[in-house]
Amino acid sequence: MTGEVKNSVTQRRAIRRLARRVLSAFVLTFIISRVVVFLIMLRSIPDLFVRLGGTHIHHLNYGIFLLAGVGAYLLFRRPVGRAAEVAAVLYGIGLGLTFDEFGMWLHLGGGYWQRRSWDAVIVIAAVLGLIAFAPSPKRFRPHHWWVAVAVAVAVVVFFLLLLESFRFAGRVVGPKLREIESTSPR
């Protein structure tokens, strides 16, 4: 391998490693924030919501500030090694906190359990998963393309089935979630 090709391979591996860190932190943050909010609403754990002058500060704000800080750090410091990995984890946490409440971006004052948040999280996780695990299109061979088409068809079918299951769950679970949300701490 020439030096240029070797550097390119090393750089792709580093990007994939960082993308795996972002993906893991993103998904874990999303899951933890959903569980914590649900437990607060059920009054199973103390009210951890932060209020400022009677206004509930949603956790998407913490995510926005975290993303802004990490973005500035990455832009001005250009970390490598361990510092880049820590920045990737913090970036994933910021994404998780922010996109957990994505539905509220679109419908201010809307409920926490909006479907749009789930959709945004799934799309972001899929893109991060592709960056983290998919081979470069330059390295695709015909069998890779056939597998990619088969996976794309499977994803579309799965997505349609998932939509129907969410509709069903919304009819069954939705009223209970709205009731919990209406009686939860504000």
39-61 pLDDT per residue, tens: 988 889 988 888 888 888 888 89
Residue 154 covered by a domain: no
- Per-residue pLDDT tens digits for 117-174: 788 888 889 889 888 888 777 777 888 788 878 878 887 887 787 777 777 777 777 7
CA distance 121 to 170: 18
Residue 113 covered by a domain: yes
- Tally the domains of the chain: 1
Q: What angle do CA 130, 132, 138 make, to 5 degrees?
A: 65
Residue 153 covered by a domain: no
Residue 1 pLDDT > 60: no
Report yes or no on whether pTM surpasses 0.85: no
Residue 117 covered by a domain: yes
User: How far is residue 78 CA from its own chain's centroid?
Assistant: 23
CA distance 69 to 66: 5
- Per-residue pLDDT tens digits for 90-110: 999 999 999 998 877 776 666
CA distance 140 to 35: 40
Residue 110 covered by a domain: yes
Residue 181 covered by a domain: no
Q: Which long-range contacts (CB under 8 A, 24 or more apart) does 133-136 make?
A: 133/16, 133/20, 136/12
Residue 45 covered by a domain: yes
Supply the range of the domain harboring residue 32: 3-139
What DSSP string runs through 81-102?
THHHHHHHHHHHHHHHHHHTTH
Residue 149 covered by a domain: no
